[in-house]
Amino acid sequence: MGKLYLVRHGQASFGAADYDQLSPLGQRQCERLGAYLGQRGQRFEAVYTGTLKRHRQSLAGLATGLVGLPETQVLPGLNEYDSEAVVRAIHPGELNHPQTPEAVRQHFRLLREGLLSWMAGCSAPAGMPSHADFVAGVADALAQARAHADGDVLIVSSGGPISAAVGLVLGLAPQAVVDLNMRIRNSAITEFHASPKRHALQTFNTLPHLDAPELASWVTYA
């Protein structure tokens, strides 16, 4: 029985005009995770990412500490939802880049509301698939990973697809999936045991590579 490692990308550029870019800290988070896995002799039989720049940059950071990575397989089904489109679908007014703690809290309140509306089929964010199609893309990625159930597989993705994957495996209600999505930390690992027929959750949202007092400031959510 192999394992599936789902890794959320490192810290991106929240509040900037282009979110899809790792921050310097996000780069360090991923390089440290790669070193942590490499020091333990971790090898992967298959590697999957979405098409986003922050996915590719995160995998490149991981690769600095790993050897023998197979060719990356790119799956659009591992892409994150468009958070701005999700919010605009329920809040058509002006949206500013959040620059203060209160503005950040308001952003995530609106995002939670928008996600639940999208999941219920009550809103249709511009340029995005239906939520059913979004989840189908995640399910397809899991099915492809199960083809390597005798070995370990790495997926580098985002909080939305990872929480959707956990939701599929555990049969969670939409509210619980959103709650998980809001708690996934940058560069965190979620592990599934894999068999040809199913995945089983082993760990969620862990940061073993940042488990040191001097690295407390490296733990980020957005």
Query: Are 31 and 101 in a shared domain?
Result: no
Q: How many domains are contained in the chain?
A: 2
Query: Are 6 and 61 in a shared domain?
Result: yes
Query: Are 77 and 87 in a shared domain?
Result: no
Taking the CA atoms of residue 195, residue 185, residue 109 and residue 102 in that order, the dihedral angle to the nearest 10 degrees is: 180
Query: Are 65 and 135 in a shared domain?
Result: yes
Last residue of a domain, one of 92, 127, 162: 127
Write down the pTM of the prediction.
0.94
Q: Cβ–Cβ contacts within 10 Å for residue 120, how many?
A: 10
**Stretches in the chain below the pLDDT threshold 70:** 14-17, 95-99
The predicted-structure confidence for 57-91, as pLDDT tens digits, reads as follows 999 999 999 999 999 999 999 999 999 899 999 98
Query: Are 32 and 113 in a shared domain?
Result: no
Contact 203, 8 (CB under 8 A): no
The predicted-structure confidence for 158-187, as pLDDT tens digits, reads as follows 999 999 999 999 999 999 999 999 999 999
DSSP 17: S
Q: Residue 199 forms beta bridges with which residues? A: 194
The per-residue pLDDT for 203 is 98
